[in-house]
Amino acid sequence: MDKRELIEKINKLKKEKNAIVLAHTYQNLEIDEVADFSGDSLYLSRQAANTDADIIVFAGVYFMAETAKILSPDKTVLLPNLSAGCAMADKINAQQLREFKAKHPDVPVVCYVNSTAEVKAESDVCCTSANAINVVKSLNAKEVLFVPDQHLGAYAESQLDGVKVITYPGYCPVHHAISPVDITEKKKLYPCAKVMVHPECPAEVTKMADFVGSTTAIIKAVKESDAKEFIIVTEKGVVERLERDCPDKKFVLINEKAVCDTMKLLHLQDILNALENNCYEINVDAQIAKKALKSIDRMISINA
């Protein structure tokens, strides 16, 4: 079956089954051609919750599908490949978080949305890469625990006065591996390029940025900028979408290793298989979901 046939069959099944497809920004670009929404993970889950769809096919990774289920408990959520996990989310589980909290009693916990449902359930409030600073600030606490991303937590601390952010030693392997040398080498080749950095990168990298922000924020800033060259310091999928949407501008991926392998597991055939066979349904324990929803709702209320 060629690409055109796959797209036609997927779209036909979406209508028949009242289904929608969500595509994270790091996905293979072909997924966008059948996606109803594309973007960052929490945005996708919130958009899906506001639809009357019966089925959500989440082209992303496991924790994202869990979040979609938490926000849409009455909808069927399908993850087209159960091997699509997240190395950052896997850095911490509920027991490890309880042990971390025990070392710092009475300190509130901010949980990056890139985490499992059980970790969200053990946290006080969630955050995204876009609102982490506001969420930490809103707690009005001198100390805050931040899980699981040490780099995003450190970045939030660097932007706030008088708040100590105690981070769990987790990280995204793709962003963690990016170094100042990568930027220096690219700047030699593209001296006029603006350096656009995701806050999951180490502090020594974010300090070299012209702009630091989430994938959505980076894309928005690039589109609004008068500059013509950009060094994109995050996952390859962002570059692919910018090249598609802004053909008049030059985009340079920070290095060829900036690829999330699990995000690239999904293809159109996987979307079709999920819809045809209603397979790989994601469910979340009701009590865990209830607690996790509280931490998500608290975040939403902060940024309402």
- Average pLDDT score over residue span 31-47: 96
Residue 118 has pLDDT above 80, yes or no: yes
pLDDT band at 1 (very low <50, low <70, confident <90, very high): confident
39 bridge partner residues: 24
pLDDT value, residue 34? 98
Tell me the C-alpha distance between 48 and 60, whole Å.
Answer: 14
pLDDT band at 226 (very low <50, low <70, confident <90, very high): very high
pLDDT value, residue 109? 98
Q: What's the mean pLDDT when you consider all of the chain?
A: 97
Q: SS3 string of 281-303?
A: ECCCCHHHHHHHHHHHHHHHHHC
Per the CB < 8 A criterion, the answer to whether 21 and 36 are in contact is yes
Residue 261 has pLDDT above 80, yes or no: yes
User: To which residue do tokens 């896997």 refer?
Assistant: 90
Q: Which runs of consecutive H residues, i.e. helices, occur in the chain?
A: 3-17, 41-49, 62-71, 94-103, 117-121, 132-138, 150-158, 173-176, 180-189, 203-206, 215-224, 236-245, 268-277, 286-302
Tell me the C-alpha distance between 241 and 237, whole Å.
Answer: 6
Residue 304 has pLDDT above 60, yes or no: no
pLDDT band at 77 (very low <50, low <70, confident <90, very high): very high
pLDDT value, residue 24? 97
- Average pLDDT score over residue span 115-125: 98
Does the global pTM surpass 0.85? yes
Residue 114 has pLDDT above 80, yes or no: yes
Question: Phi and psi for 39 in degrees, rounded to 5?
Answer: 150, -155
Cα dihedral 85, 30, 190, 193 in deg (nearest 10): -80
Tell me the C-alpha distance between 216 and 112, whole Å.
Answer: 16
pLDDT one-digit tens code per residue, 267-301: 999 999 999 999 999 999 999 999 999 999 999 99
Residue 303 has pLDDT above 80, yes or no: no
Set out the domains of the chain in order of their start, with CATH numbers: 3-85+263-283 (3.40.50.10800), 89-173 (3.40.50.10800), 178-253 (3.40.50.10800)
Per the CB < 8 A criterion, the answer to whether 230 and 251 are in contact is yes
pLDDT value, residue 144? 98
- Average pLDDT score over residue span 234-260: 97
Query: Which two three-digit tokens encode residue 175?
Result: 């962003």
Higher pLDDT, 26 or 1: 26
